């Protein structure tokens, strides 16, 4: 069990932001990352579609790669499918991601927080429950970012910058004065990959909150509780799988993941 890999999946390259945090927290672990680029974007699909894809990917990772844990590195897939995945694989530790509203509440001083996410995530019952539980602690301005994850997938810098400007203007103003937004939640795993774009839009006085580190810590806790952590002398390796061009995924991993022994497999 200790030598088995951890499975990680997303609709595309966005989950690399989560994988980056996982690698930092668990440097001795083996990972299998699945980018479902051929069926993206999840954020503009219905729940049934996302559930079907999530089950298919989980089955492949479980049966072919014998994973010891699964990280759903996609806000949309977490919202739509994580309960179904846990019911289907009750003995497999499964960790999802959700917009980091709780950390944002702890950081804000003006009490106004912007949440950028896909439309599917913002309209999900899981997010609604999270939001309702914290709505009395801060004012959350919710902004769907249609098309942004796809622009990041395509590495279209011009489109990314233009879209980020539109979305931040839609929820502003940003700042530290009363009535201004002082905390920005990146509620899609794609968005942290262009952190510098958001920082340029909102300025250094605004907190930008991501989800990678909490997800990595939770994964480590579950593996430790199951006595399934890799040995301290193991050398972590990464396999890249996906339904899109292998070269695209490999280039993205080389850009955003620290140096690691990597095997790329198109599937």
Which tokens hold the place of 237? 């390796």
Is there a cis peptide before residue 173, judged by omega within 30 degrees of 0? yes
Between CA 84 and CA 141 the distance in angstroms is 29
pLDDT for 267 equals 46
Q: Is residue 74 over pLDDT 80?
A: yes
What element of type H or E holds 251? helix 246-256
Residues 139-146: what's their mean pLDDT?
96
188 noted as active-site residue: yes
pTM of the model: 0.90
- Say which of 186, 188, 216, 241 is annotated catalytic: 188
Is there a cis peptide before residue 114, judged by omega within 30 degrees of 0? no
- Say which of 8, 40, 72, 74 is annotated catalytic: 74
What is the separation of C-alpha 88 from the centre of its chain, rounded to a whole number of angstroms?
22
Q: Is residue 262 over pLDDT 50?
A: yes
pLDDT for 263 equals 54
Going by pLDDT thresholds of 50, 70 and 90, the confidence category of residue 189 is very high
Q: Is residue 117 over pLDDT 90?
A: yes
74 noted as active-site residue: yes
Domains annotated on the chain, with CATH? 6-97+212-264 (3.40.50.1860), 101-209 (3.40.50.1860)
Residues 128-141: what's their mean pLDDT?
96
Between CA 148 and CA 146 the distance in angstroms is 6
Residues 28-59 pLDDT 10s? 999 999 999 988 788 778 899 999 999 999 99
What's the chain's average pLDDT? Answer: 92
């Amino acid at each position: 069990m200790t030598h088995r890999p951890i499975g990680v999946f997303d609709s595309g390259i966005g989950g690399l932001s989560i994988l980056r945090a996982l690698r930092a927290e668990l440097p001795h672990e083996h990972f299998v990352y699945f980018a479902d680029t051929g069926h993206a974007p999840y954020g503009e699909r219905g729940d049934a579609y996302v559930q079907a894809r999530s089950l298919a990917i989980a089955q492949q990772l479980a049966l072919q790669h014998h994973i010891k844990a699964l990280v759903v590195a996609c806000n949309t897939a977490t919202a739509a499918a994580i309960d179904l995945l846990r019911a289907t694989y009750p003995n497999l530790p499964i960790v999802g991601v959700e917009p980091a509203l709780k950390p944002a509440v702890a950081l804000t001083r003006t009490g106004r927080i912007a949440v950028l996410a896909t439309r599917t995530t913002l309209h999900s019952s899981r997010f609604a429950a999270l939001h309702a539980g914290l709505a009395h602690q801060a004012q959350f301005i919710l902004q769907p970012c249609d098309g942004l994850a796809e622009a990041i997938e395509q590495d279209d810098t011009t489109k990314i910058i233009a879209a980020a400007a539109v979305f931040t203007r839609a929820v502003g103003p940003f700042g530290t004065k009363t009535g201004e937004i002082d905390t920005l939640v990146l509620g899609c795993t794609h968005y942290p990959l262009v952190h510098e774009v958001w920082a340029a839009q909102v300025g250094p006085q605004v907190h930008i909150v991501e989800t990678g580190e909490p997800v990595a810590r939770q994964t480590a806790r579950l593996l430790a509780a199951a006595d399934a952590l890799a040995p301290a002398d193991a050398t972590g390796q990464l396999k890249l799988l996906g339904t899109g061009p292998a070269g695209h995924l490999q280039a993205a991993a080389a850009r955003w993941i620290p140096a690691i022994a990597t095997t790329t497999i198109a599937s």
